[in-house]
Amino acid sequence: QVQLQESGPGLVKPSQTLSLTCTVSGGSITTNYYYWTWIRQPPGKGLEWMGAIGYDGSTDYSPSLKSRTSISRDTSKNQFTLQLRSVTPGDTGVYYCARRTATAEASGPRIVYDYWGQGTQVTVSS
């Protein structure tokens, strides 16, 4: 019953900051041991993991995006937010939020993204 919904601008100008918010319902973003994740897909390309914020507030970012990416959360609103600074047309794509968890298996934990938002189109253009 967990649902995630992305919101934010569909169009941003080069050099500006993209801000997207993911609103979570049906589960708390502070519940252990989930990680709340941003993933994007440029047109015609595969999925790219951007980063995540954990149930404890810890963050992790893709090395290629770390210098201009920030993920934060508002636990009172059960939301987490992506900020991507200094955007270029190469940042155009569909942006998803998703929940990362681990399933218990005999060989050890298996990482899965079990719930996803529907995605939101972001276009970077002047």
- Residue 93, pLDDT score: 98
Q: List 81's β-bridge partners, or say none.
A: 21, 72
- Residue 42, pLDDT score: 98
Over pLDDT 90: what percentage of the chain?
A: 99
pLDDT digits (tens, 9 = 90+) for 5-14: 999 999 999 9
pLDDT digits (tens, 9 = 90+) for 63-103: 999 999 999 999 999 999 999 999 999 999 999 999 999 99
- Residue 77, pLDDT score: 98
- Residue 88, pLDDT score: 98
Strands (E), the chain: 3-7, 11-12, 18-25, 35-41, 48-54, 59-61, 69-74, 79-84, 93-105, 108-116, 120-124
Confidence class for position 19, pLDDT limits 50, 70, 90 = very high
- As a whole number, the mean pLDDT across the chain is 97
Q: What angle do CA 54, 32, 8 make, to 5 degrees?
A: 40
Distance CA(80)–CA(24), nearest Å, equals 8
73 and 59 in contact (C-beta within 8 Å)?
no
Residue 38: closest CA among 25, 22, 18: 22
- Residue 7, pLDDT score: 98
